[in-house]
Structure 1
Amino acid sequence: MIRHANADDLDTIAALHLAARATYYRGHVPEEEYAGPEEPARTRAAWSGAVGRGQVLCAERDGEVAGVAAYRPVDGVMTLTQLHVRPDRWRRGVGAELHAACLEAWRAEGVTTARLQVFDRNERAKAFYAAHGWTPDAGAPRSGTHLVLRLTVEAATE
């Protein structure tokens, strides 16, 4: 089930985010940058803002939040700012379901193009996005250690 996140989800979302980030940053980024003592509070505060804007979706499995996605316009372009799945729920369709729900929301808003950034060493995420039609942004393919990808949001078919 996909639903909008609420304030009661913040601790769960923050923990999920931190666990997912650790899997792809470990060994590539200094640990204090993704798991330092300030990260839990900083992460929760960032998610609180996103939840407050109403642009955070949760995927529930067995009564628990198994994945989360956040999006918002950035510089006039709809941006998938976060998409994380609990590592113990990988490869079970949670990410695909969240992605489809984002597309549905964007279509309802009339969005025709979307953007995201993915850590350049996160091979799992890069493969996921490529499989869902995301391609390198021709105008700005990189942002530091992240690749910038774009997606044309096709209109819903009847």
Structure 2
Amino acid sequence: MIRAATPADRDAICALHLASWQDSYGAELPAAYLRNDLPRAMAEKWAARRFAHPEVTLVAEGTGLAGFVCALCDRDPPLIDNLHVRPDLRGQGTGAALLARIRGALAAMGHSHAYLTVLESNPRALAFYLAQGGTDGGPVSDMLVGHPVQARRIDFTLG
């Protein structure tokens, strides 16, 4: 089941986000950061989220929280800021379902396009977004919690 997130989901989203980064971002972030500093950074990030416009956050539930997606609509086009699935549930369609639902929600809000960035060091995620209809907008320099990274912009047509 996919539904709108509420503040009651904050801790579960934060925990899933942390687990996903610790599982996937070892090539980009130092192990000490992932272990010692990332938990505080994630707690601060999610403490600041309002779960209201201009953010759209959806969660997928199964046995507990299976995944989440968040779009920031304070820019044009909106940024799909996060899409994470519990590491042990990847490859089962949850990410595709969340991406389809956030794209539909953004289209219903009147947006015609959205974008996200994906780390170049994560070819599995890049292939996933392209298979879901994203268009590779080319390389971008980005920051990941204060660490410079190379990413690719992926654009989506909505509606």
TM-score (norm 1): 0.86
Q: Distance in 1 between matches of 2:156 and 2:28?
A: 27
Q: How far has the Cα of 1:21 moved from its partner?
A: 1.1
* Bigger mean CA offset, 37-46 vs 100-109: 37-46
1:143 to 138, 141, 144: 141
Question: Gaps spanning 5+ residues in structure 2: where?
Answer: 143-149
In percent, how many aligned pairs have the same letter? 33
Partner of 1:58: 59
Partner of 1:42: 41
Partner of 1:19: 19
Q: Is the 8 A contact 1:115 1:151 kept in 2?
A: yes
Q: How far has the Cα of 1:67 moved from its partner?
A: 0.1
RMSD: 1.7
Q: How far has the Cα of 1:51 moved from its partner?
A: 4.2
Q: Is the 8 A contact 2:56 2:73 kept in 1?
A: no
Q: How far has the Cα of 1:74 moved from its partner?
A: 4.9
Q: Is the 8 A contact 2:130 2:136 kept in 1?
A: no
SS of the residue aligned with 2:67?
strand
Question: Gaps spanning 5+ residues in structure 1: where?
Answer: none
Amino acid at match of 1:59: A
Amino acid at match of 2:115: R
Q: Size of the alignment, in residue pairs?
A: 150
Please state which structure has a larger fraction of its residues in strand: 2
Q: How far has the Cα of 1:87 moved from its partner?
A: 0.6
SS of the residue aligned with 1:81?
strand
Cα deviation code 1:84-124 (max 9, x no counterpart): 00011111111011011101101111111111011111112
1:64-143 equivalences in 2 (<5 Å): 64-137=64-137, 141-143=139-141
Q: Distance in 2 between matches of 1:102 and 1:76?
A: 15
